[in-house]
Amino acid sequence: MSNRKIKFGDLIINDEAKELINKALDSNFVSGGYLVKELEKEWGRLFGYKYNVAVSNGTDADIAACMALYDFGAKRGDEIIAPALAFAAAGNSVLAAGFKPVFVDIKRETLNIDPEKIEEKINSRTVAIMAVHTMGKPCEMDVIQKLAKKYNLKIIEDCCEAHGAKYKDKFIGQFGSVSTFSYYVAHIISGGDGGMCSTNDPKIYDVLTSLKSHGRKPGSLYFDHMRHGLNFRINILPAAITLEGIKSFWEVFNKRKKNLNYLLEKTKKLRDFAFFNSEEPYETTSPHAFSITLKNPKYNYKKLYEFLQDNSIECKRNFGSMPTQHKAFEFLGHKLGEFPEAEYVGDNGLHFGIHQYLSKEDLDYVSGVLYEYFQR
Ligand SMILES: Cc1ncc(COP(=O)(O)O)c(C=O)c1O
């Protein structure tokens, strides 16, 4: 057996980031301060988002985005449409913000919400659609935007796994009212932790700024709470590391994309066995991870998972169906079978890292392990 270890992601803190941290420490600002402002400005500049509010992590970004809806007429208990399968933060944040998640099945080929199944779930209590661009693949935003317009709904784009992805020549995060990002280690730009809410709407920006600080009146030094908020503050450690990462964003993105495309090419002959990441001509996917969803359960997900782990390839399940495959959501009353595509992917899909520190030899090794599994 090889002594290689294919980790899911990695974070190497370079000298520039260390210098930024030291500078910030010298200024005696540990929470907030100029470094956070700088991060918001540079983040906005990277993708053209006008207003940016840095928060403590991607989950908080999702919660804040949902809570902002109260300023636009939403009431507690109203409904937000969300994909049945995604990282659990998507469902948890809707609940934490006081809304009911209404789950819609996904497409097994794309891992994203099935746009054809959204409209039947819209009713008078629906206030928003949460579009999660899972595994770096943009959702079908044309259809989602049309529905949002028809029913006067807000769109929240969860871009936590899709930094830098494009849909029809526009960066994702530009199609809804507010978009959310995570800087957790596995993600393309990482501060160890951290997150961001981005918007082009000045009113939403004001609301987010207030929500981040227990709903205080923006700019007020006094305890004058205008709305129900929480503490979503980020501290300087992740802010400094992320800020440094913005500078090398495209270099990292391109290296990861090269890795992804190389492994996709190498594993071409395995496509009878599984769906891998796909990319349409009208989109640019973000190289978040390498995804495998078996085309037939007979190829045995459990064995594949164990085989990869035994060969030191760190992998994770393709999330599972939130409403029907996780005990956490049982209280919502859904029954197994309601979300067949999400459940299929939850039982037959996994993903592993494609990060910038992997070499060609690492990728050749991964490809070899995959051929060994499928062709034995
Ligand atoms: C789609 C999605 N949304 C939200 C989050 C939550 O981000 P964080 O871990 O920074 O809270 C993640 C995290 O990995 C994610 O993949």
Domains of the chain (ranges; CATH) run 15-247 (3.40.640.10), 249-374 (3.90.1150.10)
The residue whose CB lies within 8 Å of the most ligand 1 atoms, and thus the one to mutate among 160, 163, 172, 317, is 160
Q: Nearest-CA neighbor of 144 among 174, 172, 113, 168?
A: 113
Whole-number Å distance, alpha carbon 59 to ligand 1 midpoint, is 6
| Res 186: pLDDT | 83
The residue whose CB lies within 8 Å of the most ligand 1 atoms, and thus the one to mutate among 87, 156, 291, is 87
Whole-number Å distance, alpha carbon 344 to ligand 1 midpoint, is 22
Shortest-distance Cα residue to atom 5 of ligand 1: 58
| Res 236: pLDDT | 87
- Other Cβ atoms less than 10 A from the Cβ of 327: the count is 6
Q: pLDDT for 45-91, tens place per residue? A: 999 999 999 999 999 999 999 999 999 999 999 999 999 999 999 99
Q: pLDDT for 332-362, tens place per residue? A: 999 999 999 999 999 999 999 999 999 999 9
Whole-number Å distance, alpha carbon 281 to ligand 1 midpoint, is 27
- Beta strands across the sheet bearing 79-83: 51-55, 195-199, 178-182, 154-158, 126-132, 79-83, 100-104
Alpha helices in 223-278 (DSSP H): 236-247, 249-266
What are phi and psi for residue 160, nearest 5 degrees?
Answer: -55, -30
| Res 2: pLDDT | 67
Integer Cα distance of 137 and 164 in angstroms: 10
Whole-number Å distance, alpha carbon 89 to ligand 1 midpoint, is 6
| Res 1: pLDDT | 57
Whole-number Å distance, alpha carbon 158 to ligand 1 midpoint, is 8
> Which atom of ligand 1 is found nearest the CA of 89?
4
Residues within a 6 A CB radius of ligand 1: 57-59, 62, 86-87, 89-90, 132, 158, 160-161, 182, 184, 195
CA dist list (Å): 152 to 68, 127, 147, 210, 219: 16, 8, 8, 24, 31
Whole-number Å distance, alpha carbon 283 to ligand 1 midpoint, is 22
Please provide the size of the chain in residues.
376
Do residues 211 and 229 lie in contact, with contact meaning Cβ atoms separated by under 8 Å? yes
The residue whose CB lies within 8 Å of the most ligand 1 atoms, and thus the one to mutate among 184, 187, 188, 241, is 184
Q: Which residues of the chain have pLDDT under 70?
A: 1-2
Integer Cα distance of 370 and 134 in angstroms: 23
Q: Give the torsion through C-alpha atoms of 251, 255, 258, 264, to 10 deg.
A: -140
Whole-number Å distance, alpha carbon 228 to ligand 1 midpoint, is 23
| Res 220: pLDDT | 77
CA 353 distance to own-chain centroid: 15
pTM of the model: 0.97
Whole-number Å distance, alpha carbon 63 to ligand 1 midpoint, is 11
Write the DSSP string, 153-194: -EEEEE-TT-TT-EETTEETTSSSSEEEEE-BTTSSS--BS-
| Res 31: pLDDT | 73
Q: Rounded to a whole number, what is the distance in angstroms from the first to the last CA of the chain?
A: 17
Integer Cα distance of 105 and 85 in angstroms: 7
